Structure 1
Amino acid sequence: MTNSAGPRRPLSTSPFKVRVEAPLKRFAVGDRVTHDRYGLGRAVGVEGDSDIAVLVDFGSRRERITQPYAAMFKL
């Protein structure tokens, strides 16, 4: 018997789920960014070789945003 419906989807409760980690976000000085809380801004500083934190100018304020940068995205 063949499966004509195509490949099976893994169940969300399966103990055999493949865990895919999201790639690390990297920012450089001058990058335009958007932040869920602060809005649009521009990266003006990067701390450390592995982007420990990014200093972002949001116009009316400067904020130091640390990893994992869940609420910040590069434009």
Structure 2
Amino acid sequence: MDSRSTAARSKQSTSPFRREAAPPTPDYQVDDRVQHDRHGLGRVVRVHGDRMHVRFGETTVDVDCRSPRVHPL
């Protein structure tokens, strides 16, 4: 029989493996300009909860506000 416990162990505050805090989510507003890693420059046309619609040229894309691929300008 294995002597190790299957329960999750708590991490110590000095552990080098602790998670880093997530960066704060920018507060996007309608007409904000953004840069997307794949689509390029765009403008926010609608914000609904944690999703936003961004206009990139002729197309509108639904994007997660917390996405690391979107950067406010």
Ranges in structure 2 where 5+ consecutive residues have no aligned partner: 1-13
1:38 aligns with 2:39: yes
Which residue type is aligned with residue 52 of structure 2? V
Tell me the TM-score normalised to structure 2 length. Answer: 0.69
Q: Which amino acid aligns with 1:44?
A: V
The alignment of Structure 1 onto Structure 2 pairs a total of residues equal to 59
- Give the superposed CA RMSD: 1.9
SS at match of 1:56: strand
Range moving further from structure 2, 30-39 or 14-23: 14-23
Query: How far apart, in 1, do the equivalents of 2:26 and 2:36 lie?
Result: 13
Q: Do the aligned residues in 2 keep the contact of 1:43 with 1:56 (CA within 8 Å)?
A: yes
Q: Percent of counterpart pairs with the same letter?
A: 32
Q: What corresponds to 2:54 in structure 1?
A: 56
Rounded Cα–Cα distance in structure 1 between residues aligned with 2:35 and 2:70: 6
Normalised to the residue count of structure 1, the TM-score between the two structures is: 0.67
CA distance in 2, matches of 1:53, 1:64: 7
The one-letter code matched in structure 2 to 1:62 is T
